[in-house]
C-alpha cells in the first residue's frame, strides 16, 4: 500500500501524507508538506525517480523534494551513536563552577529574614487589659539577602556536553532499488473519512512518465481550474454588489424613518403652539 494526498482535519491537522509500505511496514514521510485548504480544485502529484529521489507537486509546482533514504525510515540509518560508549568519569560538563576563593562575609547568617516594623505605632484605642500586650508587626528585612552562595566563575576544565561517537550501523542493509517500492502499483483505492461532505477526488493517473502526466493535467484539469476561478470571481463580485445594494437600501430606509420622526415632531410642536393660543 502506498498513500499520498491531503489530510485536513479541524484547525490543527493540515498536511500532505506520503506513505510507503516497505517490507510489510508503513512509513510516513518525515518532512511536513502543507496542502491547499481553500475550496478550489487542486492537482497533487508524486514523482518517484530511479535515483531514489522524489518530488511532490501541488498544482504542477514543486513543494517538496528529497531522498527516499533520508526522508523516510524505510532503511536503518547508516550511522548511529555507539550504544556501548560511556562518558569518561573525568568528563566535566560544567561551564561554570563556584569560585573557591569567594568566602561568606562575617555575620551574613546573623541577618534576620524579618524585623519589627520601626514605623508601626500602637493604635490609640488599644487597651492592654482587654486586647493584650501590643506588639509591633514584623516586616521583611531589606538587609536580608537569602542563602549565601559563592559567585560562579568559568570552569577551566569544561569539555562541553559529552556525545557518544558515531559508528557504522551493523544492522544497516542498503537497497539501491528503493524506488521500486512503488513498482507494484496496479490498483488505486481511496480511504476517505469526512466530517463535512463536498470533497471530490477524481482524474487519477498512474504512469511512468512525469512529462506525460503533466501534459494530461494541463489538458484536462488546468482549464477546469481556470474556469472555476473565473466563476468564483464572478460569484464574489455579484455577492459584493448585492451586499452594497442591501446596505444602501437599509441606509435609505433608516433615513426615511428619521424624516418621518422629524415630521411627527414638527406636527406636535405646531399643535402645542395652537393650544397655547
Residue pLDDT, tens place only, 110-162: 999 999 999 999 888 888 888 888 899 999 999 998 999 999 999 999 999 99
Q: What is the DSSP string of 148-193?
A: --PPEEE-TT------PPEEE-TT----TTGGGGGTT---------
Distance CA 178, CA 2 (A): 14
Average pLDDT over residues 224-250: 93
Buried b (16+ CB within 10 A) or exposed e, 19-38: ebebeeeebebeeebebbee
* Chain centroid offset of residue 23 CA: 33
Average pLDDT over residues 59-85: 95
Distance CA 108, CA 140 (A): 16
Average pLDDT over residues 250-256: 87
Paired strand residues for 97: 153
Average pLDDT over residues 41-62: 95
Least confident piece of the model among 56-70, 120-134, 201-215, 261-275: 261-275
Q: Exposure of 181 by Cβ count < 10 A (0-12 exposed, 13-18 middle, 19+ buried)?
A: buried
**pLDDT of 22 higher than 60:** yes
At residue 267, the pLDDT reads 65
* Strand, coil or helix: 239: helix
Using a pLDDT cut of 90, give the percent of the chain over it: 62
Q: Exposure of 41 by Cβ count < 10 A (0-12 exposed, 13-18 middle, 19+ buried)?
A: middle
Least confident piece of the model among 131-135, 166-170, 217-221: 131-135
Distance CA 79, CA 169 (A): 5
| Backbone angles phi and psi of 250, in degrees to 5 | -65, -40
Closest of 67, 65, 66, 68 to residue 27, by C-alpha: 68
**pLDDT of 277 higher than 90:** no
At residue 274, the pLDDT reads 61
Query: Could you tell me which residue, 166 or 182, shows the higher pLDDT?
Result: 166
Helix 210-220 to helix 222-276 angle, to the nearest 10 degrees?
40
**pLDDT of 214 higher than 90:** yes
Amino acid at each position: 500500500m502506498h498513500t499520498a494526498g491531503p489530510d485536513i482535519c479541524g484547525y490543527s491537522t493540515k498536511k500532505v501524507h506520503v506513505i510507503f509500505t516497505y517490507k510489510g511496514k508503513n512509513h510516513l514521510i518525515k518532512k511536513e508538506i502543507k496542502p491547499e485548504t481553500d475550496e478550489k480544485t487542486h492537482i497533487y502529484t508524486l514523482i518517484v525517480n530511479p535515483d531514489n529521489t522524489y518530488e511532490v507537486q501541488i498544482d504542477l509546482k514543486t513543494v517538496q523534494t528529497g531522498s527516499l533514504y533520508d526522508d523516510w525510515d524505510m532503511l536503518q540509518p547508516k550511522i548511529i551513536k555507539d550504544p556501548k560508549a560511556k562518558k569518561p568519569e573525568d568528563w566535566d560538563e560544567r561551564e561554570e563552577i563556584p569560585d573557591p576563593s569567594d568566602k561568606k562575609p562575617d555575620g551574613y547568617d546573623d541577618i534576620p529574614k524579618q524585623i519589627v516594623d520601626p514605623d508601626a505605632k500602637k493604635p490609640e484605642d488599644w487597651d492592654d487589659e482587654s486586647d493584650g500586650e501590643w506588639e509591633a508587626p514584623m516586616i521583611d528585612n531589606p538587609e536580608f539577602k537569602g542563602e549565601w552562595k559563592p559567585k560562579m566563575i568559568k570552569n577551566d576544565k569544561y569539555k562541553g556536553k559529552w556525545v557518544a561517537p558515531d559508528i557504522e550501523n551493523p544492522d544497516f542493509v542498503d537497497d539501491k532499488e528503493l524506488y521500486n517500492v512503488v513498482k507494484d502499483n496496479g490498483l488505486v483505492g481511496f480511504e476517505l473519512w469526512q466530517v463535512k461532505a463536498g470533497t471530490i477526488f477524481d482524474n487519477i493517473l498512474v504512469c511512468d512518465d512525469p512529462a506525460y502526466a503533466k501534459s494530461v493535467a494541463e489538458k484536462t484539469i488546468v482549464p477546469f481550474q481556470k474556469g472555476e476561478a473565473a466563476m468564483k470571481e464572478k460569484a464574489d463580485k455579484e455577492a459584493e454588489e448585492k451586499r452594497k445594494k442591501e446596505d444602501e437600501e437599509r441606509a435609505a430606509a433608516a433615513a426615511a424613518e428619521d424624516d418621518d420622526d422629524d415630521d411627527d415632531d414638527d406636527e406636535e410642536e405646531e399643535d402645542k403652539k395652537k393650544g397655547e393660543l
